[in-house]
Amino acid sequence: MMYVRAVRGESASSEMARFINNMDGTITDTLTGLMWQQSDLQTPLSWENALIQLNDLLLGDHTDWRMPTREEIRSIVDYTKITPSIYINQFPDAIAGNYWTSTSHPFQNDHIWCVHFYNGTDNYQSKNNQYYSRAVRGGQDQSDKEKIVIFSPAQGSTWEKEKQMVIQWDHRDIGGIVEVSISRDGGSYELIGKTDNTGQYTWNYVTGKSSPNCALRIKPLNSPDKANIQSFFRIISTKMPVLEVSPTSKEVPPLSGTMDISIINRGMALMDWQAIVQESWLHIQNNPTGTNNYTLKILFDNNSGDSRTGHVVIKAPDAMYSPQTILINQKAGYPIIQTSPKSQIISSIDDTVIFTITNDGTTFLAWNATIQDTWLNIVGSASGTDTGQIVFRVDPNYGDTRTASVLITAPGAPNSPTTVTITQQAGYPILKVSPETQDIGAESGMTTVSVVNAGAGYMSWSAESLTDWLSIETGFTGINDGVIQVSYRANDSDQRTATLRISTNDGQIVDVFLKQRPGQPILMVTPLEHRVSGNEGIISISVENAGSGILTWSAVSNAKWLTILNDSSGIQEGIIRVKHGKNTGELRPGLITVSSSATSQTQTRVTVIQESLHGYKPEDWDYNPKHYQYQCMVVAVVYNNKKQPMVNNNDILAAFIDNECRGTATPQDCPFGRLYFLQIWSNTQNDPVSFQFFDSDSGTIFTQINETIIFSSNESFGAMYKPLEINISEVDFIMSLNKGWNWVSMNIQAKDMSLGSVLASINGQCQKVVSQEGFAEYYGEQYYGTISHVDPAQMYLLKMYNAQTLKYSGDPVYYDDIAIQLDNEWNWIGYLPYFEMDINIALSSLGSSANRIVGQNGFSEYSNGWWGGITTLKPTCGYQIHLSDSASLFYPRLEDSGTKRRAKRNSHRVHRPFSRFQYPSCLTIQLEHENTLKKTRAKDQLIAISETGEIRGMAYPQQVLDKKLFFLQVWLESQAEIITITYKPLSGCDDMQGSKSLAINAYDTRGDIESPLTLKVHQYSLALLIEILQILAGGQ
């Protein structure tokens, strides 16, 4: 999938017209009315530390700086640029990194939205991460087209006190009264007046104090959210002076000199001023005081030390913008060695080299050069002052390449000593080959060898293989540098070595040795042990060739209860799938032996240890009769909620006193059928006795049994001909839910399966319930939407505000009584058994009709068996399964003793109108009628339509408290699509239309009952009506 971003270019001239450089470290954006910090905080900080830094910022005489919102910082992104994607002429030091905003993520309170100025995209990050930040202040928000826009006063304009001023704005057709208020110097707003929203108000007499930083607010009383603020204009007295200086800062050299500072009065009254220097190395050359405009001359002394900063302060009493401080930055005053060039490469015959020494500092430089290499000699003086030259004579080179270093020292220079280098090339060609030895694998392949002339002059070379299993592919010959590519055949025997010879035209020879590893196959089997439960299931054993050559292998089982399902032999790699039967006896071991052609290990054994189902008891059901004095007896029959006797060999009836197990029994044969002969133990009389039951079929423990007895020593309760009847029904469903989305299924059938009843334990924390048939939303202590009840055969998506535990009670679902009818394409299924089951057994009824299953934590695909991240299906988990043909799903029993009556299998079908699409999203929508006399009717309809014209969802309105809302479930073919939501009025009864295109992602939830999305409905055109009717009729 490819994504496209549309951008609109902005010329340099329009950019300059939009932004104003205030020459005080701030930039004003005339489009948004925002004032920005020009140089951002260059140090990455956590979000909270950045917030403190920006709120405490004093810049441009303003103290109301803050962190921008997500939308505000987007306004300075230049999408025509990358690294960084910002208006770089205005913000020249911007970094192509993440910048904080003040906008929190809606669902993750500890995450904040950022904008990354590599390409302008936004993202959200943890508050604890460290990113860059830039301050902003003020601004007139024009992002909402329904907000009022203030035209006058304009940003940067000046109002005069005691005069009449006209305030103008775009009223945006908002009725009623507006409040006009003003803020001065970042303070609270004071009311100027109230007037009808006509777009104009005249302030007859501008009053109050003068201020260089005013903000005007116009707020409609009927729609206060449509208010807006115009910032950055002035209110001055007609007789008020305004101080301006230029420049505000200047960098000067370390040598003594002068600079000019212009003092300007931009106001209407006389301005008396005084100039003060704060450092002794600065001197005022002309008048330190004066009136109105003047050019001040400043003398600065020589600097013989580090760089330094001086301050000249201009004070003008009663003048706006007084005082002003001019910064004078003087460069360091010490000598600095500069050499040119830093290094030189010369030929083998060059005999003279010259380096130039200069002083880049401001004080006296005395330098000295020293050498240690005998082939390099200084001609003339080795020392000098300030600027000078060092001349070297170089001996001819008859050997390899060589390098000499020259050390230059200068007392007092911070970069002393410094080094220059002279590299002299070799006087003849030198053959260098890399690498000269290589280790290569036993399989066939290719490798390379590099050839380099490490000397000088012309070197012609050629390569040849001295071994038959090594061949040169490229690089047979070359001049100077080059690469030789060779191929080698697979090795089916012991380790061997090949030789590649490189020769030059002057007789140099280098042999390269390639050592190939031995080619024997090596048998690797994993895992070497499987420990499995007593139930029937399937395990997988992996066979690999860890060596080279050809590996043939075969597998055999030594136990009848271990059956190899697929081919028991193979070549190279393979998977052995083994089925284990149910074990009603004792714990037992078995072996799968894999034999191979490998020379180092011809045989590997995999041990399979199976637990026993016989004699299993749930935890805390152990007891010792020797601890008790008295006993009583119970002869009982146990019935399930279908009045079927529960008499499997491993079923257990248990008696409890004070939550402590006092006896257990399994069913026994007698003339009256299979009954439980339960002996109960106690040390006291008249204790209430309760019962619990373990169903070995499902692994379920039934704790909510109504029948009880009172313990009495040696008493008998029930007899073979009239046993005590014990009925089991309800069990508890308990599931931990995470914050966000959860894929769930519920295999307990409560008496009331409505959403409000089943989800009662998490009401208020569950935001959305989504199925393949629709969705519902919790609001005001009940659920609203297109689904109302829970079906155990379906999967549901629960979106949680916070982690919670779901609890409810009901009857167990006898899963093997239910056949779930699945359609081709996508189906959302619930998992009905009460225990984990191997995926190949659980989905065996589907055969090859199914091709993919997706869970919340992985997926698997079918190819003569299921392969992938899902190996078992688990209780409480829901799944999406894709079929190529319709089929019936029924979960098999792992044991069928024939002793329990089974009901006829019931067919169960779910309505799946959009089963060919995998991804849902949920939209809660309210119509906004242009004509207020129009109302939403019961048969009005919203339709979701894809870019290809397919219908992806439909919804009718539902009454929710005082609103009529559409709960529209939209189905997507991919993770993100453009969907158009179209309003279809009651047929033939309306002339209204409405549509909106949205970019929707998989599992989006847009709007809710309290704040639904809105779709504006207005009178439609005939052409659009025909288009809608064609789509609904399946046409184009």
Q: What is the pLDDT of residues 502-540, one digit of tens each?
A: 999 888 999 999 998 887 788 888 999 988 877 788 888
Show Cβ contacts of residue 469 under 8 Å, excluding neighbours closer than 6 positions. Answer: 488, 489, 491, 496, 498
Average of per-residue pLDDT across 60-86: 85
Q: Are 74 and 68 in contact (CB under 8 A)?
A: no
Which pTM value belongs to this model? 0.41
Residue that is written with structure tokens 């200086």 in the block: 245
DSSP state of 856: T
Backbone dihedral region of 988: left (phi > 0), alpha (psi from -120 to 50 degrees) or beta?
Answer: left
Which one, of 661, 698, 1033, 718, lies nearest residue 893 by Cα? 698
Report residue 652 as tokens: 């257990």
The per-residue pLDDT of the chain, averaged, comes to 85
Separation CA 358–CA 356 (nearest Å): 7
Amino acid symbol at 974: S
Residue 914 has pLDDT above 80, yes or no: no
Structure tokens, 188:
């609270």
In angstroms, the CA 955 to CA 925 distance is 10
Side-chain half-sphere exposure of 30, counting CA atoms within 13 A: 14
Encoding tokens for residue 911?
């309505």
State the pLDDT at residue 903. Answer: 40
What number of other Cβ atoms are within 10 A of residue 840's Cβ?
A: 20
Tens of pLDDT, residue by residue over 945-991, are 999 888 888 888 888 777 888 888 888 888 899 999 998 886 544 56
Of the two residues 901 and 35, the one the predictor is more confident about is: 35
Q: Is the pLDDT of residue 7 over 70?
A: no
For residue 1004, pLDDT over 90 is answered with: no
Place of tokens 């271990």: 562
969's tokens? 């479930």
Q: Taking the CB of residue 405, how many other CB atoms lie within 10 A of it?
A: 14
Instruction: Give the burial class of 163: count Cβ atoms within 10 A of its Cβ; 0-12 exposed, 13-18 middle, 19 or more buried.
Output: exposed
Q: Round to whole Å and give the CA distance between 451 and 502.
A: 9
Report which residue type is found at 445: G
Burial status of residue 1032 (CB atoms within 10 A of its CB: 0-12, 13-18, 19 or more): middle
Q: Report the side by side order of strands in the sheet with 995-1001.
A: 951-955, 941-946, 976-984, 995-1001
CA distances from 966 to 59, 120, 480, 781 (A): 51, 35, 78, 19
**In the sheet where 165-170 sits, what is the strand order?**
149-152, 165-170, 200-203
Give pLDDT, residue 897.
Answer: 39
Residue 360, pLDDT above cutoff 60: yes
Q: Does residue 318 register a pLDDT over 80?
A: no
Given this model, what pLDDT does residue 9 score?
41
**What H or E segment, with its residue span, contains residue 840?**
helix 839-842
Phi, psi torsion values for 843, nearest 5 degrees: -105, 20
pLDDT for 539 equals 87
The span from the CA of 449 to the CA of 431, in Å, is 13
- DSSP state letters, 41-91: EEEEE-HHHHHHHHHT--BTTB---BPPPHHHHHTTB-TT--SS-B-TTT-
pLDDT score of 465: 94
Tell me: the pLDDT tens digits for 792-839?
Answer: 999 999 999 999 999 988 887 767 678 889 998 889 999 988 878 888
Confidence of residue 1036 (pLDDT cuts 50, 70, 90): very low
The pLDDT value given to residue 616: 64
What does DSSP say about strands 995-1001 and 804-812: parallel, antiparallel, or unpaired? unpaired
| Cα dist from 17 to 8, 128, 401, 983, whole Å | 16, 39, 60, 43
Q: Which helix (H) or strand (E) holds 590?
A: strand 588-596
pLDDT reported for residue 905: 46
- Angstrom CA distances, 580 to 588, 610, 834, 971, stand at 11, 8, 20, 42
* Residue 1013 scores a pLDDT above 50: yes
Domains of the chain in sequence order: 12-138 (3.10.100), 149-236 (2.60.40.1930), 243-330 (2.60.40.10), 347-356+364-424 (2.60.40.10), 431-516 (2.60.40.10), 523-610 (2.60.40.10), 625-727 (2.60.40), 731-909 (no CATH), 919-1032 (2.60.40)
Tokens describing residue 553: 């292998």
Tell me the pLDDT tens digit for each residue of 867-889. 777 888 998 999 999 999 999 99
- CA distances to 114, 955, 978 from 993, rounded to whole Å, are 38, 16, 20
Round to whole Å and give the CA distance between 528 and 673: 46
Q: Spell out where 331-459 has E strands.
A: 337-340, 343-346, 352-359, 366-371, 376-379, 383-385, 388-394, 402-409, 418-424, 431-434, 437-440, 445-453
Identify the three-state secondary structure at position 1024.
helix
